[in-house]
Structure 1
Amino acid sequence: MNEYTRKLLDKALDTIESAELLLDHGKTDVAAGRSYYALFYIAESLLNEKGLQFSKHGDVIGAYGKEFSKTKLLDQKFHRWLIEGLDTRLIGDYHVDTKIEMDAVANMINQAREFYEAALRYLEK
């Protein structure tokens, strides 16, 4: 695993922990955003190991789908979680009349942890 990949994974883990703290304080919209970014950093780390880097969220999500989901290198649910996570983050960031439920955010955090563990297993092969 190269150094930049390790840094992305470290950032993902820090972001998961931040999301948990935010959720503990009832900051569900911000915690959802952090949860999504954890998923995003994990996807970036996996793509980085293949020599692929992108600047846009849609490009990362699309490339992850092509490289890992369609090829079934990793469970396809992770790609779905990335897509759903982005949608949820956008609601939390931009919809002032909508509050993301605590259970939904807790689920996103659990998804990020599961994706993180799967990425580690894949990268340590």
Structure 2
Amino acid sequence: MDDKVLEILERGIYGTPETKPDERRLFLSTIRERIFLALTKRQVIRKGMYNEVISLIRSKKGIRLYINGDIGYSFYANYVKEGSKHSVPFTVVAPEKPTPIGLVIATENQAVEEKKIFILDEFYEADMERSNKNSQT
């Protein structure tokens, strides 16, 4: 059978192969190269909003918020409201596996290659420490 026909049949049966599935599970369905900023769950839950998030929402075009569906709406509502003010869409993602990531600000399909995508504070440290312990068990 012709390779092209076989490829079409396999895609019909199994679906299109997904790129970087581990990154997509960690980063709420997107990949690292598209991310401007990622917050952990505790960072999203903490009272108030990070200035870095507000600045990105106000200044960047073509971005989307990806929100971890394991977090209650009341904890991320302020991010959705701020995004709505600036026509930034959001997607609530139901993670397949546990992830420490609570919110991601990224483009939908364009690489941005940000060097630093995390805010390194005590909430980040606590979530990453917990995540590392869980992955070792």
User: 1 or 2, which has the higher helix percentage?
Assistant: 1
Greater CA radius of gyration, 1 or 2? 2
More strand by share: 2
Give the TM-score normalised by structure 2: 0.28
TM-score normalised to the size of structure 1? 0.30
